[in-house]
Amino acid sequence: MLVAAAVVPCPPMIVPELARGAVAELDALRAACDRALAGLAETAPDRLVVLGAGDADATLEAGGTGSFAPYGLDLEVVLGAGAAQPLSPALTVGAWLLGRSPWAAERIAAGTAPSPVTAAVIASDADPARCAARGAELVAGPDRVALVVVGDGSACRTEKAPGYLDARAEPYDRALGAALADADSDALAALEPALAEELWVAGRPALQVLAGAAGPGRRGRLLYAEAPYGVGYFVALWS
């Protein structure tokens, strides 16, 4: 069963060595991510699942290894027991964020007990029904599961954004932020894949997995909602 979930974004620039002279621009984002992961720690879960979008559905029970080399930084991160399986870009950022958390780092180093860390991937093109089913699968059973959901909002917020400016992007992200603040699983489940694709919403499938895992009756806290590089970044904690 799901006891808590943290939603975090996945910009590679969140790593200070990549941000270089612009490190301070994402200080507030890093701090919000740290608070969200600390909130997971307070629930003392039996199992931690880090979820992000990728090429195809996969469950990496032993975790995996990610690299920031594609972005010009010689830095590897490990999730779980340190298996050789490669992590998707989203999970690589998720692993880096977890490495900042003493609570999570302890469990990543342990690999297994007291709280195993699993990496889960949902296909970027998964439809809402598949996402909902995937969410239910991840939290099935008696274990108290905490989810780290990694994904961004729209990348069409400004003219310099990766997807250029789309007038629909800001209201879309505003509604998405409201859904995260209210722990509104129904609103996340209703996200349209076609519109999300047009607005470059990379986090859509992972957020719909969260909706399937959480169901109704949750409480939400929105800790961060900004678009510093023309991409909607959100940090939220559901309990």
Q: What is the pLDDT of residue 209?
A: 98
Give strand pairing partners of 226.
233
Neighbour count for residue 217 (Cβ, 10 Å): 7
Whole-prediction pTM: 0.92
Domain 2-238 is in which class? alpha beta
Q: What is the pLDDT of residue 114?
A: 36
Q: What is the pLDDT of residue 74?
A: 94
Q: What is the pLDDT of residue 109?
A: 54
Query: Low-confidence residues of the chain, pLDDT below 70?
Result: 82-83, 103-115
Q: What is the pLDDT of residue 113?
A: 37
Q: Domain ranges for the chain, please list them.
A: 2-238
Query: What pLDDT digit, counting tens, does each position of 116-159 carry?
Result: 788 999 999 999 999 999 999 999 999 999 999 999 999 999 99
Q: What is the pLDDT of residue 4?
A: 97
